[in-house]
Structure 1
Amino acid sequence: MSQKFKGLTERYPAQLIMPVVDILAVISGCIFAHWWRFGHFNLPERFVLAMALLSLLIVVLNSAFGAYQRWRVKRVTTLTFRLLIVWVIVAMLATSIIYFTHTSYRYSRLWVGLSLLISFFMAAGVRVLVQLFLRHIRIKGFATRSVFLIGPGENITSVGKSMRGSPAEGYVLAGIRRIKNRLTADELDRLAERITESGAQEVWLCMSIACANDIRDFMYALRNHTAEVRFIPDFGGINMQLLNHRISEVAGLYSIDLSVSPISGVARFVKRLEDLIIGSIICLLISPVCLAIALAIKLTSPGPVLFKQYRTGVNGKSFKVYKFRSMKVHQETAGSVTQATKGDSRITPIGNFLRQTSLDELPQFFNVIQGRMSIVGPRPHALAHNEYYKDLVESYMKRHKVKPGITGWAQVNGFRGETDTLDKMEKRVRYDLWYIDNWSLWLDLKIIFLTIFKGFINKNAY
């Protein structure tokens, strides 16, 4: 029961549903205010338009002020005050728009004021109730996040006390590793194994900035982990590959998030919405093409139409990716995957065309609809490739902090197809990590646009 509830709250965190709550609050406020002012619920078209504008302003301003971020450690008073500021700004904007467009005779100022007042109390009330509910269930041991602490004994003791003193934040201890001196390579490997066995979702490095070299050692030892890594308590610059590094507050302490995906909260909701809308449209458009390709494959070579292979997805979990079969049916050596090369005899006549034009990847849009992939993201590699490169390319596995994509920043910059040298893979990973660290909706749309002109046909695709 607790595991199911924990999984539900992790998949649908509060910051994902708050924008929807705000929109529903505005709609409800506008409807009730109209009944209060005019005695009925039938809003004229101009009032519906004003309601849509108010909803848009509320969501945009809340997003701009970060009201949907870091919900876990925000105080109720902070959430409510920030919400009040947003509603006041929207009230001023609405009043200004009505005044400068000379439309005051078409809208009741009482209706506008009541709409904002009612919607504010509804939105704030929901936040207070949800926050109190989440705090209650965390104290009861539900919806918690497990943490592994690393550092000198006194630091771990101090951080542990802070965790126990903040039960409402829901952090529980998964394990500790006290250190006195710099760890050897073997000790670091054993520590990484302990963290994996503990199932920790976060790793907190509780040490001084003077231990910068030690921190780098730990980051390298955890390079194949997708657990979030936080540095507590000092600040400073560290020369290593970081993802969305920022200052956070956890358990009443300040930390530097060294490796955290920016695609979370509202951003994750927006990206999923992007995938569903664009993915559904593309699936409808490519259906005739997919049927023609399937028929051509079936007529030109024996074997199945689709090629299915396990790839590594978000947070290191494997999933089955779909592609049109472009090779003759053959048996690979166990635990290895041979990349296609120029003139590869395994490629079918139609397969060569499919691979060069990327048409073999069209079935992956169904992976997108399923939620296992995204339209834009790091390309998923074969499991054997991950095992090979994760120890050769630093931060290689951090590509899996987000869903893999059909196209990506690396692909539109020319790093597509065969990676026959370590240098090529390092550059691809560098572009993938840059994308994760700089994600935005506009970047996704830019990559989709560039893919149309640069990503489909590529001389490196065999």
Structure 2
Amino acid sequence: MHLPAQSYANTSPRHGNALARASDIFLIALSALISARAAATAVSPGYDNALVAFALLLSVLLFPAFGLYQAVYRPYLLRCVLAPVFAWVFALAGALLAALFVCEPYRPDTGWMLRWALLSGIGITVRRHVCAELARRRAEQGTRAVAIVGSGERCRQLLYKVESTPGSMYLVSTTFDTGVAEESATGSTPAFRDRLAFADYVRRYQVKEVWLALPLSEEKTILEFIELFRTDLVDIRFIPDVSGMALFDGEMVDLAGTSAINLVGSPLSSDALAAKEIFDRIFAFCAVVALSPLLAAIALAVKLSSRGPVLFTQKRKGANGKVFDIYKFRSMRVHDAAEGVVKQATRNDPRITRVGAFLRRTSLDELPQFFNVLRGEMSVVGPRPHAIEHDRLYQNIVDNYIHRYRIKPGITGWAQVNGFRGETDRIEKMQGRVEHDLFYLSNWSFAFDMRIVVATVFKGLVHSNAY
């Protein structure tokens, strides 16, 4: 959760700080050098350098996705220890896989790698702990009192963001409610409706900042509050309320030095998309290797159960509407389908084989989609892709349906682990699925992906709607 003033006045925390990124790169490279100097012999220095280069590249891409460059005002265990350690482990594992694949028959020295991993892990966690502690001391010495001007609901949202942000350097001292009287419940914080009384409070208690959280249409009100404090040394910040227009969070982005607010667009940054794709490829590769005996057994069972191919392919839409062939284990008997018509599976569908029924109930028929992930067509977690014929139908009758394709479709998703899977025989079911998909897009994080993966394993594989 970002601080409101930072979201609109400063550089976005998601993109991080250039100095912090450079520090991490320096620490990782320095740790590799120290570890190599400590080794008795250099086994393959050229290949070792390639491994280090891969690790540095993946660190640059993955660390922002783990939120390592967001503002931290206290040395918390999650943000200062667990997150950087997990990020570094994933970056190192991905670099090792890349080096083994590209530099065959390279095998790194185990002792050197362990020393490097340990030193780098200690370095990046200690750096974050020190920076968080320094930020905490600065915040304690300079907590800034702010006053918020906005409607009752908007004031409540900003109050919650400030109060729920760990170690926030801001303290909401008072609010001015521009909404109707029934909306103005802001807890114990003093709330005003009289402008002169509000201005008197700000001056008397030396409030440092006034945040104007108003819609773009209220230009007159904005100018009136600027005029109200024209003789005061008070910082006035405009936090546009675009909740009525923006599809997602309406965050501030930088366009070649010009600031803009996203109203309709992908809520994931290019850094986040790149990190998500790297994780997808690594996860899919490990899954295919680990599940290869199961994949072979299922393929044999499908082949023996009925006449036809082992895999079933169908056209689906991927990111930005790009069409690809999705892979599944065949669960139905070979049959002729009417052109341009896709009939969804129903309960007790006679087309489904006995083996296919088990595969569909347990979602094992979806396992070949890890190959789609390796091909870069799908993600491990994301909105489930639908048949193109269903896309044409639903995009005109379900609100915001098309925005599911802002990112790659997934093998599993937030909608699926919440029960929105299987046949969509009513518009309400598809509307619920789309709402969950858009919630996932608005709230994406690496931790959210991990939560969905774990939920899929423990409760999402078998469901009463899967048939």
Sort the TM-score into its range (normalised by shorter chain).
Answer: 0.5 to 0.7
Of 323, 326, 343, the match for 1:338? 343
Q: Percent identity?
A: 44
Q: Deviation at 1:242? A: 1.2
SS at match of 1:295: helix
Looking at structure 2, the residues matched to 445 and 458 of structure 1 have their Cα atoms a distance apart, in angstroms, of 20
Spell out, residue by residue over 1:357-392, the C-alpha distance to the aligned partner (whole angstroms, 9 max, x if none). 101101001111111111111001000010000000
Give the aligned residue type for 2:298: I
Give the aligned residue type for 1:433: L
SS at match of 2:351: coil
Residues 145-294 of structure 1 mapped to structure 2, 5 A cutoff: 209-210=216-217, 235-239=240-244, 242-250=247-255, 253-294=258-299
- Flag the 1:440–1:330 CA change in 2: closer, same or farther, 3 A: same
Gaps of 5+ in 2: 1-14, 41-51, 72-122, 131-214, 219-237
Q: Aligned pair 1:349/2:344, yes or no?
A: no
Q: Deviation at 1:92? A: 12
- Flag the 1:255–1:304 CA change in 2: closer, same or farther, 3 A: same
Give the aligned residue type for 1:419: T
Residues 40-51 of structure 1 mapped to structure 2, 5 A cutoff: 42-43=37-38
Give the aligned residue type for 2:320: N
- Flag the 1:255–1:383 CA change in 2: closer, same or farther, 3 A: same
Give the aligned residue type for 1:365: F
Q: Aligned pair 1:374/2:369, yes or no?
A: no
SS at match of 1:303: coil
Looking at structure 1, the residues matched to 446 and 127 of structure 2 have their Cα atoms a distance apart, in angstroms, of 27
Spell out, residue by residue over 1:80-127, the C-alpha distance to the aligned partner (whole angstroms, 9 max, x if none). xxxxxxxxxx89956998xxxxxxxxxxxxxxxxxxxxxxxxxxxxxx
SS at match of 2:37: coil
Of 324, 345, 350, the match for 1:319? 324
2:424 maps to which residue? 419
1:87 maps to which residue? none
SS at match of 2:464: coil
SS at match of 2:304: helix
- Flag the 1:398–1:299 CA change in 2: closer, same or farther, 3 A: same
Of 448, 454, 460, the match for 1:449? 454
- Flag the 1:345–1:240 CA change in 2: closer, same or farther, 3 A: farther
Residues 433-448 of structure 1 mapped to structure 2, 5 A cutoff: 433-448=438-453
Looking at structure 1, the residues matched to 465 and 246 of structure 2 have their Cα atoms a distance apart, in angstroms, of 27
Q: Deviation at 1:284? A: 1.4
SS at match of 2:391: helix
1:432 maps to which residue? 437
Looking at structure 2, the residues matched to 297 and 409 of structure 1 have their Cα atoms a distance apart, in angstroms, of 29
SS at match of 2:313: strand
1:386 maps to which residue? 391
Give the aligned residue type for 1:357: T
SS at match of 1:259: coil
- Contact 1:234 1:255 survives alignment (8 Å): no
Looking at structure 2, the residues matched to 417 and 95 of structure 1 have their Cα atoms a distance apart, in angstroms, of 45
RMSD of aligned alpha carbons: 4.0
Looking at structure 1, the residues matched to 25 and 68 of structure 2 have their Cα atoms a distance apart, in angstroms, of 19
2:411 maps to which residue? 406
2:302 maps to which residue? 297
- Flag the 1:44–1:404 CA change in 2: closer, same or farther, 3 A: same
SS at match of 1:344: coil
- Flag the 1:20–1:383 CA change in 2: closer, same or farther, 3 A: farther
Aligned residues, how many? Answer: 283
- Flag the 1:269–1:92 CA change in 2: closer, same or farther, 3 A: closer
- Flag the 1:366–1:91 CA change in 2: closer, same or farther, 3 A: closer
Give the aligned residue type for 1:329: V
Q: Deviation at 1:309? A: 0.6
SS at match of 1:248: strand
- Flag the 1:20–1:340 CA change in 2: closer, same or farther, 3 A: farther
- Contact 1:373 1:403 survives alignment (8 Å): yes
Q: Deviation at 1:324? A: 0.4
- Contact 1:235 1:256 survives alignment (8 Å): no
- Flag the 1:269–1:23 CA change in 2: closer, same or farther, 3 A: farther
Looking at structure 1, the residues matched to 310 and 124 of structure 2 have their Cα atoms a distance apart, in angstroms, of 58
SS at match of 2:263: strand
SS at match of 2:315: strand
Give the aligned residue type for 1:350: V
Spell out, residue by residue over 1:323-382, the C-alpha distance to the aligned partner (whole angstroms, 9 max, x if none). 000111122222221100011111112111111110110100111111111111100100
Spell out, residue by residue over 1:224-246, the C-alpha distance to the aligned partner (whole angstroms, 9 max, x if none). xxxxxxxxx99433435612421
Give the aligned residue type for 1:372: E
- Flag the 1:285–1:444 CA change in 2: closer, same or farther, 3 A: same
2:207 maps to which residue? none
- Flag the 1:305–1:398 CA change in 2: closer, same or farther, 3 A: same
- Flag the 1:24–1:429 CA change in 2: closer, same or farther, 3 A: same
- Flag the 1:315–1:91 CA change in 2: closer, same or farther, 3 A: closer
Give the aligned residue type for 1:319: F
Looking at structure 1, the residues matched to 59 and 292 of structure 2 have their Cα atoms a distance apart, in angstroms, of 38
Looking at structure 2, the residues matched to 92 and 405 of structure 1 have their Cα atoms a distance apart, in angstroms, of 32
Give the aligned residue type for 1:257: N
Gaps of 5+ in 1: 1-14, 35-39, 46-50, 68-89, 98-207, 212-232
Looking at structure 2, the residues matched to 238 and 95 of structure 1 have their Cα atoms a distance apart, in angstroms, of 34
Looking at structure 2, the residues matched to 91 and 373 of structure 1 have their Cα atoms a distance apart, in angstroms, of 32
- Contact 2:342 2:387 survives alignment (8 Å): yes
Looking at structure 2, the residues matched to 92 and 376 of structure 1 have their Cα atoms a distance apart, in angstroms, of 28
- Flag the 1:335–1:295 CA change in 2: closer, same or farther, 3 A: same
Looking at structure 1, the residues matched to 21 and 127 of structure 2 have their Cα atoms a distance apart, in angstroms, of 21
Q: TM-score, normalised by structure 2?
A: 0.53
